């Protein structure tokens, strides 16, 4: 079925007249009759009964009319969005789990309020997974830290995170690896920027953890550390929002390893209206460095 045929059907149902439809669509009456006949031939059913010069709408025509209205409206919306580059439609965002849980709820709510017809897809993962997905065209934009430099990408800083080491409740102060009682660290799999930073912190003291346990969520890290299974690294905001933080102790990471910039990143030349809209909201929020 062609869009022109559906528009003709819509007009015929609404006007009930070939002449009125021809006038509305700026066509000759014979062209209107021809389009409807082609549509009927394609479907294999009559859409209108002819009684002298009158057209009587069938139940199937009314059913198709409802679909046609939706289809034409969708096509018109798509054309408008593409031509005017207005935000809307599908928007695929990749983000670190910690960012999705703590930083994005408010901005995405604002985005929905400002762009009601947007269709958000939020996918969480670790840095390397999200980065590769962006390169492969699976995401429109990502929010990660410590992204490798790539001239094919564009980026802006969204906000800064303070990273901290967490340990069990009564753990003594941690300033260097020698102060840690447990030989186990709880981290995400390789490719996680926070894991890299914790291991680099160990390396800065010419040390290395005896055991690395990989987990799949920050709730697992927080809960396992609270149970005394080892130490971990998390953004301070996640610790602050953890309901059982009274079971943990927090320890600052001195120097640049304890501060990480989270960037909004997209492919060069692919700056869409959706990315601009999200970028403006993030800038408006003015996320400060967490103290």
Structural domains present in the chain:
3-84 (1.10.10.10), 89-160+262-285 (3.40.190.10), 161-259 (3.40.190.10)
C-alpha 171/C-alpha 277 separation (Å) is 44
Provide the 10 A C-beta neighbour count for residue 72: 15
Please report the pLDDT score of residue 285 as a whole number. 65
Structure tokens at 75: 């096509």
Structure tokens at 158: 């969204």
Q: Is 261 left (phi over 0), alpha (psi -120 to 50) or beta?
A: beta
Distance of alpha carbon 220 from alpha carbon 49, whole angstroms: 67
For 155-207, the pLDDT digits (tens) are: 999 999 999 999 999 999 999 999 999 999 999 999 999 999 999 999 999 99
- The CB density around residue 67, as the number of other CB atoms within 10 Å, is 12
Task: Please give the DSSP secondary-structure letter assigned to residue 244.
Answer: T
pLDDT digits (tens, 9 = 90+) for 105-162: 999 999 999 999 899 999 999 999 999 999 999 999 999 999 999 999 999 999 999 9
Higher pLDDT, 128 or 75: 128
Residue 53: pLDDT band (50, 70, 90) is confident
pLDDT tens digits, 22-38: 998 999 999 999 999 99
For residue 291, pLDDT over 60 is answered with no
* Helix 29-43 × helix 3-15 angle, to 10°: 110
Convert the pLDDT of each residue in 217-245 to its tens digit: 999 999 999 999 999 999 999 999 999 99
Question: Contact 264/282 with Cβ under 8 angstroms?
Answer: yes
pLDDT at 286: 52
């Amino acid at each position: 079925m062609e869009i022109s045929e559906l528009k003709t059907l819509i007009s015929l149902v609404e006007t009930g007249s070939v002449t009125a439809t021809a006038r509305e669509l700026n066509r000759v009456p014979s062209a209107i009759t021809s389009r409807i006949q082609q549509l009927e031939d394609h479907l294999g059913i009559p859409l209108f009964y002819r009684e002298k010069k009158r057209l009587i709408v069938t139940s199937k025509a009314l059913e198709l009319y409802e679909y046609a209205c939706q289809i034409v409206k969708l096509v018109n919306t798509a054309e408008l969005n593409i031509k005017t580059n207005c935000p809307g439609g599908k928007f695929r965002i990749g983000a670190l789990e910690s960012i999705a849980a703590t930083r994005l709820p408010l901005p995405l709510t604002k985005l929905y309020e400002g762009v009601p017809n947007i269709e958000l897809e939020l996918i969480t993962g670790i840095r390397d997974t999200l980065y590769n997905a962006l390169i492969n065209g699976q995401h429109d934009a990502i929010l990660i830290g410590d992204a490798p430099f790539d001239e094919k990408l564009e980026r802006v800083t969204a906000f800064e995170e303070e990273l901290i080491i967490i340990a069990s409740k009564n753990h003594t102060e941690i300033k260097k690896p020698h102060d840690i009682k447990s030989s186990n660290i709880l981290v995400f799999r390789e490719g996680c920027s926070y894991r890299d930073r914790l291991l680099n912190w160990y390396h800065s003291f010419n040390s290395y953890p005896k055991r690395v346990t990989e987990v799949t969520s920050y709730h697992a890290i927080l809960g396992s550390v609270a149970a005394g299974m080892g130490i971990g690294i998390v953004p301070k905001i996640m610790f602050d929002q953890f309901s059982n933080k009274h079971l943990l102790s927090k320890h600052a990471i001195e120097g640049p390893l304890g501060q990480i910039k989270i960037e909004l990143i997209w492919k060069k030349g692919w700056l869409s209206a959706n990315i601009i809209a999200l970028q403006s909201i993030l800038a408006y929020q003015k996320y400060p460095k967490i103290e």
